[in-house]
Amino acid sequence: MAAVKKAGPRTGLKLGPEYKRAGHVLLHAPSPHKLFGRVPIRHVVLMQMRFDGRLGFPGGFIDPKDGSLEEGLNRELTEELGPGATAAYVTENDYISSWVMENPQKIEGHFYAKQMSLEDLEHLEEGALHAKDHGLEVMGLVRVPLYTLRDGIGGLPAFLCNNFIGKAKEQLLEALGCLGLMPQNKLEEAVWASQK
Ligand code: AMP
Ligand code: MN
């Protein structure tokens, strides 16, 4: 699977009718809280446990009936996250990067990141249990730990050892870096610790 990296507003990669289109989004909010009173949470970053037992981002296939990529993704967000999803709706300006899959099916995927207020994000989490897809395509939302504990593996390194769908792990790391959600050296240390 090839990653197509871009920065700035989406310019509309569209490979052709034989490619199904997909869109997914990383939702995040700044957090003032500290774990055990000393470990900064920094940001709440949301992923989800999927129906297939892998971690991924909210989103899914865009329907040809959807007016645009973003409209399709926002429709998916309401299905997967419920009523609080309106505060998570993306625009072209939230676009991060794209990927292409050739086998077993042709898919072009588009990845977005959207900052929310902590209040809106927590409201979304509360409502997610009432989403249409809850317990079906979505087994639950999870927060990504953005710290490494004193043992050197607990936190983000251990989280990165999970099983991720497609390019989701690379997308998570890309977004944490380019959005500045944690210090670059701590991010690199966590990736390194997760590979040991
Ligand atoms: P979904 O409906 O959310 O499962 O996503 C539509 C398609 O995109 C499925 O074929 C997934 O396997 C694939 N997919 C989902 N998330 C990612 C991702 N982060 N990177 C690459 N492929 C993905
Ligand atoms: Mn989905």
Residue 116 has pLDDT above 80, yes or no: yes
**What is the reported pTM?**
0.94
CA–CA separation, 137 vs 130, rounded Å? Answer: 13
Q: Which of 14, 12, 107, 126 is nearest to 61 (CA)?
A: 107
Residue 110 has pLDDT above 70, yes or no: yes
Mutate to test the pocket of ligand 1, among 1, 5, 24 (most ligand atoms within 8 A of CB): 24
- Any idea which residue has 């899914």 for tokens? 60
22 CA closest ligand 1 atom index: 6
**pLDDT confidence of 46, banded at 50, 70, 90?**
very high
The pLDDT of residue 14: 73
**pLDDT confidence of 3, banded at 50, 70, 90?**
low
Ligand 2 centre to CA of 82 (Å) is 13
User: What pLDDT digit, counting tens, does each position of 67-82 carry?
Assistant: 999 999 999 999 999 9
Across residues 31-55, what is the average pLDDT? 98
**pLDDT confidence of 17, banded at 50, 70, 90?**
confident
**pLDDT confidence of 11, banded at 50, 70, 90?**
low
Ligand 1 centre to CA of 179 (Å) is 22
Mutate to test the pocket of ligand 1, among 1, 25, 165, 173 (most ligand atoms within 8 A of CB): 165
Q: Which of 69, 75, 82, 66 is nearest to 138 (CA)?
A: 82
Mean per-residue pLDDT over the chain, rounded? 94
DSSP code at position 62: P
Residue 13 has pLDDT above 70, yes or no: no
52 CA closest ligand 1 atom index: 4
CA–CA separation, 86 vs 189, rounded Å? Answer: 35
> Is the distance from the beta carbon of residue 24 to the nearest atom of ligand 1 less than 6 Å?
yes
The pLDDT of residue 80: 98
The pLDDT of residue 9: 60
The pLDDT of residue 10: 61
Q: Which of 179, 182, 193 is nearest to 149 (CA)?
A: 193
Asked if the bond preceding 58 is cis, omega within 30° of 0, the reply is no
Residues 160 and 166: beta-carbon distance below 8 Å: no
Across residues 70-98, what is the average pLDDT? 97
Ligand 2 centre to CA of 59 (Å) is 4
The SS3 assignment for 86 reads helix
Backbone φ and ψ for 129, nearest 5 degrees, come out as -65, -20
User: What pLDDT digit, counting tens, does each position of 158-180 carry?
Assistant: 999 999 999 999 999 999 999 99
> Is the distance from the beta carbon of residue 58 to the nearest atom of ligand 1 less than 6 Å?
no
Mutate to test the pocket of ligand 1, among 50, 52, 105, 107 (most ligand atoms within 8 A of CB): 107
What is the residue with the minimal CA distance to atom 21 of ligand 1? Answer: 166
Domain limits, the chain:
2-33+41-144
User: How many Å separate Cα 60 from the centre of its chain?
Assistant: 11
Query: How would you write 114-178 as a 3-class SS string?
Result: EECCHHHHHHHHHHHHHCCCECCCEEEEEECCCCECCCCCCEHHHHHCCCECCCHHHHHHHHHHH
DSSP code at position 75: H
Residues 124 and 81: beta-carbon distance below 8 Å: yes
Q: Enter the CATH code of domain 2-33+41-144.
A: 3.90.79.10
Across residues 42-49, what is the average pLDDT? 98
- Any idea which residue has 């991720």 for tokens? 164
